[in-house]
Amino acid sequence: MRYQVVESPNALQDSTAGSPRKPPRLIPSVDARLDSLEPRLSRFYVQLLVLTGASWAIQAAELVLLVFTRVLVANDIGMGTPVLEIFGASIFMGSMAGGPIFGHIADKFGRRTALLIAMVFSLGGLAVLARANAQYMLIIGRVVVGIGLGGQLSSTVVLVHELSPQSTQGRVVSLLDAFTGVGGLVGVVLAYAVAPWLGCPRTTYLVVCGLVVYTVVLRVAIPESPRWLASVGRTEEAHAVVDKIECSHHFQPPYQKEVLDFTSVLEPPSSSATPPSSLFKRMLPSIVLWTLWIAVTLSAYALGIYVPTLISLNGYNMFGSWGTMVVLSVAQILGSVSAAMVLVSRDPQHALAGFAVLAAIVSVVLSYVSWSRGLVVTGSFLATALLSGCWSCVLAYTPGHYKNARRGRGVGYAVGVSRLAAVGLVPRFGYQPLNQDDDSDSSVWMCEANLELDAKSSDSEERSIVTDTGDSNTLEETVSVNVSHDPALPEGLTVKEYLEDVFLMKHSELWKNFGFVLGWVVVTRLLTLLALRFANHQKK
């Protein structure tokens, strides 16, 4: 157990009076005090999960609301193909910058401060979207939302991680991630019930903006990270926070609390100077971690959004009813809760490997079965739950990969790199929807496709698909399909066969995009390293 040397002022007075000086008294450091707590969820941690989980759910609900209403908002302004490409990726662009920016803010001004500012940004972007009357204003609003979402993700994970003892950090972060499913349910209600009731998606944006007052609740009810406070020299405040946590845990420390009133000992700072020979060794673990984030991000979007959308073209549509959307949100909750249970006895690396293998098996099986309702719902439920478990393991592992002094930046850059990959590494297919003669980019069509059911009779329904034809106007075509029975494909067509027969995968464009993003990442990292080296030189 690590200790800090703390000397009482009375000892100094006794020594000046000529009496023999008493030996200094030892008390555990902030890290040691937190890590010595029992591995259970006390009242403090239940309150922490509820409060931070509510902000996490607001973030997820906001994202779902934007996804399901973006076509309506875009149609109000009128967007062509180039603008649609930027409009669809603008949130990722904002998150790509928001993660690193708020990571630095978290390391400089505190985890809680970064969380509050990021939440103001994400909800403030909705206000911009609600009042936007031009294309560029819509894009700016979504970028601002993305900046806030990226910063909120990194700062919330770091704050919850540092407030928890080491034995329960993975479990608490996984339970925090379970609120993603809760926010998904709220977002579906906002998009499909509240927005039609209010008559306009932009009015819904303004209503959701009112949740910015929740930052006051977070400011009052959640303390700052004691580990960060100790790392910047504010040890008295850090020990005061730990006192409250110990009291909630009904834990009686084996030392006098009066000694803590005079504690002002800095924890050993980490060396900022790094020899050039060890620079690559220092960056290699972060590069591996970024690769992990990229892989999980692309897998989540491909299996959770892209493949179900492809299935809906000729099979059962998972996004076509409230019931299936609720099923997917419940799957996210169960996946994160399952990860929390596994992390009690397993480390995040082993748990991630297990969830990833199971997700791959389910995905392969789903690609070879017919697209009947039962199989699609079951396969999508299992894939979503396992992917949610993977995300929980990644979020639980990443903060512990860095030290207190740079933990915010470490998690923030991981978020930024993964969102950069989501923007650049999107496979492009030579598919022309609805047998159109134009050569519209299928990524734009798939991103902006609005699959909604329009009940015009009791026996049949019509699915409305909104596509962009490359002109300034938007083409809306209606295709009548019979949904009175399970829409199983004729001749048992599978996902694999459908992709091979209908889609012409352009590998050259895929590798071109990959090379572009890889080069961009390398250039930005080199510039960042040069800036850090210059800053260290100026300090010397």
Give the other-Cβ count within 10 Å of 291's Cβ: 13
Q: Residue 338 in 3-state DSSP?
A: helix
**Within-domain flag for 219:** yes
Instruction: Provide, rounded to the nearest whole percent, the portion of the chain with pLDDT above 90.
Output: 26
Q: What is the pLDDT of residue 335?
A: 94
| Res 112 pLDDT > 90 | yes
Rounded Cα distance between 398 and 193, Å, is 37
DSSP label at residue 278: G
**Contact indicator for 442, 475 with CB cutoff of 8 Å:** no
pLDDT band at 119 (very low <50, low <70, confident <90, very high): very high
What range defines the domain where residue 70 resides? 32-253+281-430+518-539
What's the number of CA atoms in the CB half-sphere (13 Å) around residue 149? 26
Mean pLDDT of the chain: 74
| Res 405 pLDDT > 90 | no
Rounded Cα distance between 464 and 474, Å, is 13
For the segment 159-217, what is each residue's pLDDT rounded down to a tens digit? 999 999 988 989 999 999 999 999 989 988 888 888 888 877 888 888 898 899 999 99
Range name among 106-120, 253-267, 441-455 with the lowest pLDDT average = 441-455
Q: What is the pLDDT of residue 522?
A: 62
Name the token pair of 9.
């002022």
What's the number of CA atoms in the CB half-sphere (13 Å) around residue 411? 34
**Within-domain flag for 221:** yes
**Within-domain flag for 112:** yes
**Within-domain flag for 338:** yes
Name the token pair of 420.
């950069």
- Stated length of the chain: 540
Q: How many folded domains does the chain comprise? A: 1
Q: Residue 158 in 3-state DSSP?
A: helix
Mean pLDDT across 318-338: 87
**Within-domain flag for 296:** yes
Rounded Cα distance between 345 and 408, Å, is 27
Tell me which of 34 and 394 has the higher pLDDT.
394
What's the number of CA atoms in the CB half-sphere (13 Å) around residue 145? 32
Q: What is the pLDDT of residue 192?
A: 83
CATH of the domain at 176: 1.20.1250.20
**Contact indicator for 340, 392 with CB cutoff of 8 Å:** yes
**Within-domain flag for 37:** yes
Q: Taking the CA atoms of 286, 292, 298 and 301 in sequence, report the sign of the dihedral they define.
A: negative
Rg of the chain on CA atoms, in Å: 26
| Res 283 pLDDT > 60 | yes
Q: What is the pLDDT of residue 309?
A: 75
**Within-domain flag for 459:** no
CA-closest candidate to residue 348, choices 303, 302, 299, 401: 401
Q: What is the pLDDT of residue 516?
A: 59
Contacts of 144 (CB under 8 A, 6+ apart): 94, 121, 122, 124, 125, 128
**Within-domain flag for 20:** no
AA letter at 507 = H
Q: What is the pLDDT of residue 176?
A: 94
Residue with token string 């050569």 = 439
Q: What is the pLDDT of residue 484?
A: 34
**Contact indicator for 438, 531 with CB cutoff of 8 Å:** no
Burial classification of residue 458, based on how many CB atoms lie within 10 Å of its CB (0-12 exposed, 13-18 middle, 19 or more buried): exposed
